[in-house]
């Protein structure tokens, strides 16, 4: 049986979680103090995701800070970055504006600052 140790990042508590895995299946999850930690541990072991933050170029040459609206599977981050690198936007851009719908499954690319 394999044991994976994680520190939960769902809240400031930072629970130390231990996940027991056998034959690719989770056998137990211990150490979480709330349901969010349990869910985090499941996802982190089975299909880890990350928010992608970067910049895209505006047509006027300015850089626009962006992020994905949700987590992207770690295995897909490089493919998503290739798509993001090809994006060019027109200004003005407003904070929270969706720049690309479905940059990954169920995830949009949104601006994180207003750029004129």
Residue pair 58/115 in contact by the 8 Å Cβ criterion: yes
pTM of the model: 0.80
Q: What CATH number belongs to 53-111?
A: 3.10.530.10
- Model pLDDT, residue 24: 86
Residue pair 51/72 in contact by the 8 Å Cβ criterion: yes
Quick one: tokens of 115? 């750029």
Domains of the chain by residue range? 2-46, 53-111
Low-confidence ranges of the chain (pLDDT < 70): none
Q: Report the 10 Å Cβ neighbour count for 14.
A: 11
7-20, pLDDT tens digit by residue?
999 999 999 999 99
């Amino acid at each position: 049986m394999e044991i994976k140790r994680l520190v939960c990042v769902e809240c400031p508590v930072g629970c130390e979680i231990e996940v027991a895995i056998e034959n690719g299946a989770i056998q137990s999850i211990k150490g979480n103090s709330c349901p969010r930690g349990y869910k985090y541990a499941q996802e982190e072991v089975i299909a880890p995701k990350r928010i992608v933050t970067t910049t895209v170029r505006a047509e006027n040459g300015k850089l626009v800070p962006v992020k994905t609206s949700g987590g992207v599977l770690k295995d897909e981050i490089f493919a998503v970055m290739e798509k993001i690198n090809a994006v060019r936007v027109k200004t003005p851009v407003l904070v929270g504006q969706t720049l690309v719908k479905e940059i990954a499954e169920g995830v949009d690319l949104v601006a994180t600052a207003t750029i004129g």
